[in-house]
Structure 1
Amino acid sequence: MRVAGFGFRPAATAAALLDAYRLAGGGADALATVAEKADAAALCDLARALGLGIIAIAPEIIAATPTATHSPRVAARFGAGSLAEAAALAGAGAGARLTGPRQVSGDGMATAAIAERKEA
């Protein structure tokens, strides 16, 4: 299973999220972010366009998930170094690994990371 995790600013567009998603490698089976952002219009629009569901991750799970990269601003707000990486890892489940570090959209409004968990 491959899950794309997202972090984004309130003004981010679906195009910004798609840009970050493509830069991260795409090919996900689902999208994920922290619960408070899961119903954001841009993410819902992207999910519809890609035909994918959205996994809402509880904030305490985000905060408890170690990440490869670290943003002081994100750490202060969510307790994780990267919201995109933490959401991807938590959404993909136990044993998941990042396929690479988070990627930032060209406009700087969104980040995405892909996590993959091999199924038995």
Structure 2
Amino acid sequence: MIVAGFGFRTGADIVALSTALAGAQHGHPPVTALAAPHDKLALVSDLAKTLGLRVIAVSPDALQIPQTPTQSIASLGSRQTGSVAEASALAAAGSGAKLLTTRHISPDRMATCAIAQSDAQGPAI
């Protein structure tokens, strides 16, 4: 399973998510699902529909479990994780997940995307 996890600001749009995904995806296998915090699923669901992918909701508790290489002060303050994108990707990819790429930031700085991979067939959340 290869999951693209997203973190983004209120006001982000599908273009910001798409460009962050393109940056993260570069040189990696195609993703099989998209993931984001459960309260931010609407925009990610729109992108998933466009790409024909499923979307995975990540609970607040699940966001706090993975250790993320990136440590954003904003993410730590709002979500108690160093990177919402990295934590979403890792949590949604399931048991044994590893990051293929740390977060990539969209050019407008409104969205981030990270990609994780695991042998799991579904999320452990």
Counterpart amino acid of residue 23 in structure 2 = L
CA RMSD, 1 decimal: 1.4
Contact 1:31 / 1:52 at 8 angstroms: preserved in 2?
Answer: yes
Aligned pair count reads 118
Deviations 1:73-118 (A, max 9, x none): 1111101000000000000001010001100001100000000013
What is the aligned partner in structure 1 of residue 35 from structure 2?
A: 32
TM-score, normalised to structure 2, is 0.89
1:107 is matched with: 108
Residue 33 of structure 2 aligns with an amino acid whose one-letter code is A
Separation of aligned partners in 2, 1:96 and 1:64: 12
Q: Secondary structure of the equivalent of 1:101? A: strand
State the alpha-carbon separation in 2 of the partners of residues 63 and 3 from structure 1: 17
Runs of at least 4 residues of structure 1 off by over 4 A? Answer: none
Query: Does the 8 Å contact 1:64/1:79 carry over to 2?
Result: no
Give 1:119 shift.
5.2
> Who is 1:13 aligned against?
13
Q: Which residue of 2 aligns with 1:94?
A: 95
Unaligned stretches of 5+ in structure 2? Answer: none
